[in-house]
Amino acid sequence: MSKIALVHVALLVGGIRTVFAPGEELPELPKHDEVALINSKSISDPTADAAAERAGQAEQRKGEKEFRDARLLVQAEAESRTTDVGSGEDAGTAGSGTASTAGTALDGDGTGTALPPVSQALRSAAGTATARLAPAVKNAAKATRGGKR
């Protein structure tokens, strides 16, 4: 299929200047002219547009499949942390038989509660938490040292 004009396009066809209206099919063009007109959005190539659409749809399907696979993996991980492991003899532990009683990373102290979130305190370059002193505390510290510096 030929290229189709999207705007008025003037071309030399057989040495004669010919103007093509939007929607008209163009004659065969030299490759460099075709590339320049497509890049300037003056003409379109329905065959190339359809191929690009198919490639985009294939990429979309591939991305959706990767997302579904990753979601199933995350769901399986979450489910494995909350499901009943079985009786104490089968699981090799005594107790309620749940995975959370084993003292995993989710409940490091074995109490069945999750660990508290990591402190959001400011960190110094050494990685330790820096104290934020209120102005009143700073002023009190200055007063005990003997006033202004």
Strand partners for 9 = 20
Note whether 9 and 43 are within 8 A (CB).
Answer: yes
Q: Is residue 94 predicted with pLDDT exceeding 90?
A: no
From the list 108, 84, 79, 107, the residue with the least C-alpha distance to 96 is 84
d(CA 61, CA 55): 10
Confidence of residue 68 (pLDDT cuts 50, 70, 90): very high
Confidence of residue 127 (pLDDT cuts 50, 70, 90): low
Q: What is the pLDDT of residues 13-27, one digit of tens each?
A: 888 898 989 988 888
pTM of the model: 0.38
Q: Is residue 37 predicted with pLDDT exceeding 70?
A: yes
Distances 76 to 29, 73, 98 between C-alpha atoms, Å: 57, 5, 16
- Amino acid residing at 116: P
The one-character DSSP state at 4 is E
- Check residue 41 and give its pLDDT: 87
Domain residue extents for the chain: 4-44, 49-80
